[in-house]
Amino acid sequence: MTRYVAGRLLQAVVVVLIVTVIVFALLHSLPGGPARAILGIDATPAQMADFNHQQGFDQPLVVQYLQYLGRLLHGDLGRSFALNQDVSAVVTQRLPKTLLLTGVSTLVAMAVAVPLGVWQAVRRNRAGDYVVTALTFLAYSTPAFFLAFLAILLFSQAIPLFPAQAPQADTLAGILAEPAALVLPVATGAVTAIASFSRYMRSSTLDNLAEDYVRTARAKGTVERRVIWRHVGRNSLTPVITMLGYHIPVLFGGALVTESIFNYPGMGLAFWNAAQVSDYPVLLGVVLVIATATVIGSLLADLLQALIDPRVRGAHR
Amino acid sequence: ACGGGAGQQAGTGGGAPVEGGTASFAQPAGSTPNWILPLGVPGRTASFNQSIRDALWPPVLSYTAESGKLGLDVKGSLATAAPAWSADGRTATITLGGQSWSDGKPVTSRDVEFWFNLIKANTSGWTSYVKGNFPDNVTAFTTVDDKSFSMTFDQAYNQQWAEANQISLMYAMPQHAWDKDSDAGPVGDLDRDPAGAQRVWTYLTGQASSLDTYATNPLWKVVDGPFTLDAFSTTGRVTLKKNPAYTGPDAAHLDTVDLLPFTSEDAAFNAVLAGDVDYGYLPIASLAQKPRVEGLKYRVQNWDGWAINFAPYNFNDATAGPLFRQDYVRQAIQRSVDQDGISKVIWKGTAVPTYGPVPQQPAGDSLSDAQKTNLYPFDTAAAQAQLTGHGWQPGADGIVVCARPGTGADQCGDGIAAGTRLQFEMYSQSGSSETDAMMQELQSSLAKAGIAMTIRTAPLNTVLADTKPCAPGAACGWQASFFGARGAWYLNPYPLTDRQFSTPGTGNFGSYSNPETDSLELAARVSNDPSAMQAVSRQLATDLPGMWLPEPVYQVSAIKQDLQGVSQDPQAVIHPQRWYRTK
Amino acid sequence: MTAVAQPPPVPEVPATVPAPRAASVLRRLVRHRLAAAGLVVVGLLVVFSFLGPLVHPADQSVTNLQEASLPPGSAGHLLGTDGVGHDVLGRLMIGGRTSLIIGIATGLLATVIGTVYGAVSGYFGGRVDAVMMRVVDAGIAIPALFLLLTAAAIIRPSVTSMVLILGFVSWLVPARLVRAEALSLRTRDYVAAVRAVGGSGTRIILRHIVPNTVGTITVNATFQVADAILLIAYVSFLGLGVPPPATDWGGMLSDGVTNIYSGAWWLIFPPGLAIVLVVCAFNLIGDGLRDAFEIRRSR
Amino acid sequence: MTEAAADSAADSAPVLTVRDLRISFPGGESRVDAVRGVDLELRRGEVLALVGESGSGKSVTALAAMGLLPPDAQVAGRLLVGDRDVTRLGPAELRDMRGREIGMVFQEPTTALNPVLTVGDQIGEALTNHENLTAAQVRERTLELLEAVGIPEPAERMRAYPHQLSGGLCQRVVIAMAVACNPAVIIADEPTTALDVTVQAQIMRLLRELRDSRGTAILLITHNMGVVADLADRVAVMRDGVVVEVGTAEQVLTDPQHEYTTALLAAVPRLGSGSRAAATDEPAADRPPTVLHLQDVRVEYRTLGRPAVRAVDDVTLAVRRGEVVGLVGESGSGKSTIGRCALGLVPATAGHVTLLGVDQRRLRGSRGRRVRRGVGVVLQNPASALDPRMTVGDSIAEPMVIHRVGSRAERQQRVRRLLDDVRLPAAAADRYPHEMSGGQRQRVGLARALSLGPDLVIADEPTSALDVSVQETVLRLLTELQAVHGFGCLFISHDLAVVESVAHRVVVLLGGRIVEEGATQDVLHRPREDYTRLLISSVPVPDPVQQAARRAAADAVLRESARALAG
Ligand SMILES: Nc1ncnc2c1ncn2[C@@H]1O[C@H](COP(=O)(O)OP(=O)(O)OP(=O)(O)O)[C@@H](O)[C@H]1O
Ligand SMILES: Nc1ncnc2c1ncn2[C@@H]1O[C@H](COP(=O)(O)OP(=O)(O)OP(=O)(O)O)[C@@H](O)[C@H]1O
Ligand SMILES: [Mg+2]
Ligand SMILES: [Mg+2]
**D335 CA distance to ligand 2 middle (Å):** 8
pLDDT at C10: 33
Which chain B residue is nearest to residue A38, measuring alpha carbons? B43
Residue C2 placed within a domain? no
- Whether the CB-CB separation of B553 and B352 falls below 8 Å is answered with yes
Confidence of residue D384 (pLDDT cuts 50, 70, 90): confident
Q: Give, in order, the Cα–Cα distances in Å from D514 to each of D290, D507, D510.
A: 19, 7, 6
The per-type count for chain C, helices as H runs and strands as E runs, is 14, 0
Distance, in Å, from the CA atom of B336 to the CA atom of B130, rounded to the nearest integer, reads: 37
Residue type, D36: R
Bridging pattern class, strands A79-80 and A85-86 = antiparallel
> How far is the alpha carbon of C167 from chain D, nearest alpha carbon, in Å?
28
Distance, in Å, from the CA atom of A191 to the CA atom of A246, rounded to the nearest integer, reads: 18
> How far is the alpha carbon of C155 from chain B, nearest alpha carbon, in Å?
9
pLDDT at A32: 66
> How far is the alpha carbon of B434 from chain C, nearest alpha carbon, in Å?
9
Tally of structural domains, chain A? 1
Pick among A1, A213, A304 to test the D interface (most D CBs inside 10 A) = A213
Question: Which residues from C are below 8 Å from D when comparing CB atoms?
Answer: 17-21, 188-190, 192-200, 203, 207-208, 211-212, 214, 295, 299
Residue C262 placed within a domain? yes
Same domain for D441 and D502, yes or no, is no
Three-class SS of B479-496: CEEECCCCCCEECCCCCC
User: Is D112 part of the contact surface with chain A (CB cutoff 8 Å)?
Assistant: yes
Residue D135: CB atoms within 10 A of its CB come to 9
**D442 CA distance to ligand 1 middle (Å):** 19
Taking chain C, what is the end-to-end CA distance rounded to the nearest angstrom? Answer: 37
Angle separating helix axes A234-246 and A280-308, nearest 10 degrees: 170
Average pLDDT over residues D119-147: 88
Residue C64 placed within a domain? no
Same domain for D335 and D402, yes or no, is no
Residue C267 placed within a domain? yes
With a 6 A CB cut-off, is D311 part of the ligand 2 pocket? yes
Q: Tell whether the model's pLDDT for residue D281 goes beyond 60.
A: no
Same domain for D208 and D176, yes or no, is yes
Query: Whose CA is closest to B439, among B332, B359, B336, B304?
Result: B336
Tally of structural domains, chain D? 3
What does the DSSP 8-state code read for residue C81?
B
Residue type, D66: M
Atom of ligand 2 at shortest range from CA of D334: 18
**pLDDT tens for each residue of B480-508:** 999 888 777 889 899 988 888 999 888 89
Residue A313 placed within a domain? no
B482 or D84, greater pLDDT: B482
C18 or B119, greater pLDDT: B119
Q: Which residues contact C40 (CB under 8 A, 6 or more apart)?
A: none
Same domain for D389 and D437, yes or no, is yes
Residue A221, helix vs strand vs coil: coil
Query: Whose CA is closest to D65, among D128, D126, D15?
Result: D15
Atom of ligand 2 at shortest range from CA of D194: 26
For residue D143, the surrounding DSSP H or E stretch is: helix D135-148
pLDDT at C165: 84
Residue A238 placed within a domain? yes
Residue D549 placed within a domain? no
Residue D306 placed within a domain? yes
Radius of gyration of chain A measured on its C-alpha atoms? 23
With a 6 A CB cut-off, is D432 part of the ligand 1 pocket? no
Residue C18 placed within a domain? no
pLDDT at D273: 65
CATH number of C284's domain:
1.10.3720.10
- Tell me whether residues A153 and C144 touch, CB distance under 8 A: no
Same domain for D72 and D219, yes or no, is yes
> Which residues on C lie below 8 Å from D370 (Cβ)?
198
- Whether the CB-CB separation of B200 and B194 falls below 8 Å is answered with no
- Whether the CB-CB separation of D265 and D542 falls below 8 Å is answered with yes
**C294 CA distance to ligand 1 middle (Å):** 18
- Whether chain C lies against chain D with 3 or more Cβ pairs closer than 8 A is yes
Alpha helix (H) ranges present in D219-288?
225-231, 249-254, 259-267
**pLDDT tens for each residue of C188-235:** 788 888 888 888 888 888 888 888 887 778 777 877 888 888 888 878
DSSP assignment of A271-289 equals HHHHHHTT-HHHHHHHHHH
Q: Which of A218, A230, A310 sits opposite D68 (nearest CB)?
A: A218
Residue D315 placed within a domain? yes
Neighbouring C-alpha atoms within 13 Å toward the C-beta of C62: 10
- Tell me whether residues C239 and B431 touch, CB distance under 8 A: yes
User: Is C3 part of the contact surface with chain A (CB cutoff 8 Å)?
Assistant: yes
> How far is the alpha carbon of A125 from chain D, nearest alpha carbon, in Å?
13
Neighbouring C-alpha atoms within 13 Å toward the C-beta of C295: 13
Same domain for D93 and D149, yes or no, is yes
Residue type, C42: V
pLDDT at A34: 76
> Which residues on A lie below 8 Å from B209 (Cβ)?
84
Cα dihedral B325, B326, B327, B329 sign: negative
Of D410, D427, D453, the position where a domain reaches its end is D453
Same domain for D256 and D276, yes or no, is no
CATH number of D153's domain:
3.40.50.300
Whether a cis peptide bond, with omega within 30° of 0, leads into B322 is: no
Average pLDDT over residues D499-506: 88
Of D266, D296, D324, the position where a domain reaches its end is D266
Query: Whose CA is closest to A146, among D287, B562, C254, B397?
Result: C254
Residue D467 placed within a domain? yes
> How far is the alpha carbon of D114 from chain C, nearest alpha carbon, in Å?
16
**pLDDT tens for each residue of C137-152:** 888 888 887 887 787 7
Confidence of residue C298 (pLDDT cuts 50, 70, 90): very low
- Tell me whether residues B459 and C239 touch, CB distance under 8 A: yes
Residue A11 placed within a domain? no
Q: Which residues contact B479 (CB under 8 A, 6 or more apart)?
A: B313, B314, B317, B319, B320, B324, B424, B425, B426, B427
Radius of gyration of chain C measured on its C-alpha atoms? 22
Average pLDDT over residues C38-53: 89
pLDDT at C13: 31
Q: A-D interface: how many C-beta pairs under 8 angstroms? A: 100
Distance, in Å, from the CA atom of B349 to the CA atom of B236, rounded to the nearest integer, reads: 31
Subunits touching C (CB < 8 Å, at least 3 pairs)?
Answer: A, B, D
Could you give phi then psi for residue B18, rounded to 5 degrees? -125, 145
Residue B349, helix vs strand vs coil: coil
Tally of structural domains, chain C? 1
In chain B, which stretches have pLDDT less than 50? 1-13
With a 6 A CB cut-off, is D35 part of the ligand 1 pocket? no
Distance, in Å, from the CA atom of D460 to the CA atom of B247, rounded to the nearest integer, reads: 102
Residue nearest to atom 29 of ligand 2 (CA): D332
With a 6 A CB cut-off, is D332 part of the ligand 2 pocket? yes
**pLDDT tens for each residue of D202-246:** 788 888 888 888 888 999 988 778 888 888 899 999 888 889 999
Same domain for D29 and D139, yes or no, is yes
Same domain for D134 and D234, yes or no, is yes
Residue nearest to atom 6 of ligand 1 (CA): D25
Residue range(s) defining the domain that contains residue A105: 90-278
Alpha helix (H) ranges present in B357-430?
369-372, 380-388
Residue nearest to atom 16 of ligand 2 (CA): D334
Distance, in Å, from the CA atom of C73 to the CA atom of C86, rounded to the nearest integer, reads: 14
User: Is B32 part of the contact surface with chain A (CB cutoff 8 Å)?
Assistant: yes
Residue type, A130: Y
- Whether the CB-CB separation of D441 and D382 falls below 8 Å is answered with yes
- Whether the CB-CB separation of D34 and D48 falls below 8 Å is answered with no
Distance, in Å, from the CA atom of C136 to the CA atom of C149, rounded to the nearest integer, reads: 19
**Could you report the predicted ipTM of this complex, rounded to two decimals?**
0.78
pLDDT at D276: 63
Q: Give me the sheet containing B563-564, strands edge to edge.
A: B17-18, B580-582, B563-564
- Tell me whether residues C203 and D402 touch, CB distance under 8 A: yes
Could you give phi then psi for residue B289, rounded to 5 degrees? -85, 5
Average pLDDT over residues D367-391: 81
pLDDT at D7: 47
Distance, in Å, from the CA atom of B481 to the CA atom of D430, rounded to the nearest integer, reads: 66
With a 6 A CB cut-off, is D244 part of the ligand 1 pocket? no
**pLDDT tens for each residue of D28-81:** 556 778 888 889 888 888 999 998 876 778 888 888 888 888 777 888 888 888
Same domain for D344 and D212, yes or no, is no
Residue C7 placed within a domain? no
Residue nearest to atom 24 of ligand 1 (CA): D54
Q: Tell whether the model's pLDDT for residue D430 goes beyond 50.
A: yes
Cα dihedral A139, A141, A142, A143 sign: positive
Q: Tell whether the model's pLDDT for residue C15 goes beyond 70.
A: no
CATH number of A253's domain:
1.10.3720.10
Query: Whose CA is closest to A175, among A166, A183, A184?
Result: A166
Residue range(s) defining the domain that contains residue D245: 13-266
Query: Whose CA is closest to D324, among D356, D276, D360, D357?
Result: D276
Residue type, C148: L
- Tell me whether residues B124 and A83 touch, CB distance under 8 A: no
Residue C200, helix vs strand vs coil: coil
Distance, in Å, from the CA atom of D228 to the CA atom of D50, rounded to the nearest integer, reads: 9
User: Is A7 part of the contact surface with chain D (CB cutoff 8 Å)?
Assistant: no
Q: Tell whether the model's pLDDT for residue C158 goes beyond 70.
A: yes
Looking at the CA of D50, which ligand is closest?
A: 1
- Whether chain A lies against chain B with 3 or more Cβ pairs closer than 8 A is yes
Looking at the CA of D239, which ligand is closest?
A: 1
Chain B window 185-224: which residues touch A at a Cβ cutoff of 8 Å?
A: 208-209, 211-212
* C-alpha torsion angle, residues D395, D400, D406, D410 (rounded to 10): -30
Three-class SS of B259-291: EECCCCHHHHHHHHHCCCCCEEEECHHHHHHHH
Atom of ligand 1 at shortest range from CA of D57: 18
Subunits touching B (CB < 8 Å, at least 3 pairs)?
Answer: A, C
Q: Global pTM?
A: 0.81
User: Is A275 part of the contact surface with chain C (CB cutoff 8 Å)?
Assistant: yes
User: Is A231 part of the contact surface with chain D (CB cutoff 8 Å)?
Assistant: yes
Taking chain A, what is the end-to-end CA distance rounded to the nearest angstrom? Answer: 11
Residue C67 placed within a domain? no
Residue C148 placed within a domain? yes
In chain A, which stretches have pLDDT less than 70? 1, 32, 311-317
What does the DSSP 8-state code read for residue D310?
E
- Whether the CB-CB separation of B37 and B548 falls below 8 Å is answered with no
